[in-house]
Amino acid sequence: MAAVSAALVKELRERTGLGMMECKKALSAADGDIELAIEELRKSSGMKAAKKAGRTAAEGTIIMRVADDSSYGVLVEVNSETDFASRDEGFLAFANKVADVVFATKETDMAKVISGDMLEAREALVQKIGENITPRRAVIIEGGLVGGYLHGNGQIAVLTQLEGGDAELAKDVSMHVAAVSPRVVRGEDMPAEVLAKEEEIVRAQPDMAGKPAEIVDKMIVGRMKKFLAENSLTEQPFVKNPEIKVGQLVKDAGATVTSFIRLEVGEGIEVAEVDFAAEVAAQLRG
């Protein structure tokens, strides 16, 4: 078993709510791989899920643009190194310019968007602010009726595509997606590999041990059905009125949900935690 840092144990505790020794043991067995440790803990403890990683703390903003006729919409994420920089007027003006280009051209390849004058504008902003400014990604939804919702200062943004309905309905569904973060529109959209992994985890949980195969199979069917309901947009209770599911809300309005895109600033970016005391000590020694 590999030795693990106190910081890693702390992160696993925060994400799982389990005890220190249990987390330390799981991380040691997983050679410090926190995602593998979580998977094994779900098998051994029956833990339902873990919080998302807290080390994706890249700053920045997401800009949303939706066509006046609701025929398409775009989301553009631009990152900075600090929250302070992300609130700078120059940074926000640049982020909006990037979004304007994406919206006008429907080009989502950032290498093509940030060229010529845009590249010069970025370089000037980097010089002024003193931080790396990264136009990270752009996405587009086109066709049907498109509406969206922007949360806070552009930290979370969602576009929803409907057949039928109106912009207000699309905004309501987008607000729900921002708050609840479903994985798919409908259960049948769930990727096969995700289902296979979840079934593996459920099958390995302690209360399955010693039961006849037919009982285990029935329990797995029930838990997988629950998993799909919890992670499918149309099966989730609507955040503004939990008495009705999102699918029924949309159906009552004479519409169907075709797709959605949810972006959150910094998601998927690993940001190294710097131990400044250790860094200074190393410099003094060197």
Q: What DSSP letter does each residue of 246-286 carry, written as one string?
A: HHHHHHHTT-EEEEEEEEETTTT---PPP-HHHHHHHHHH-
- CATH 1.10.8.10 residue ranges for the chain: 1-55
Closest CA to 79 of 132, 32, 152, 149: 132
- CATH 3.30.479.20 residue ranges for the chain: 59-184+257-264
Range 61-86 average pLDDT: 95
Looking at residue 89, the DSSP 8-state letter turns out to be: H
Residue predicted with more confidence, 250 or 44: 250
Question: Could you give the 3-state DSSP secondary structure of residue 139?
Answer: strand
With cut-offs at 50, 70 and 90, classify the pLDDT of residue 283.
very low
pLDDT at 16: 83
Residue predicted with more confidence, 271 or 215: 215
Among 3.30.479.20, 3.40.50.720, 3.90.550.10, 3.30.390.30, name the CATH number for the domain at 59-184+257-264.
Answer: 3.30.479.20
* Integer Cα distance of 286 and 109 in angstroms: 44
pTM across the whole model: 0.76
With cut-offs at 50, 70 and 90, classify the pLDDT of residue 187.
very high
Query: Which fold does the domain 1-55 belong to in CATH?
Result: Helicase, Ruva Protein; domain 3 (1.10.8)
Q: Are the C-beta atoms of residues 33 and 4 closer than 8 Å to each other?
A: no
Question: What values do phi and psi take at 88, rounded to 5?
Answer: -65, 140
Strands 156-163 and 72-80: unpaired
pLDDT at 56: 33
Q: What is the pLDDT of residues 104-147, one digit of tens each?
A: 999 999 999 998 889 899 889 988 888 888 899 999 999 999 99
Q: Is residue 253 pLDDT above 50, yes or no? A: yes
Closest CA to 225 of 206, 198, 249, 252: 198
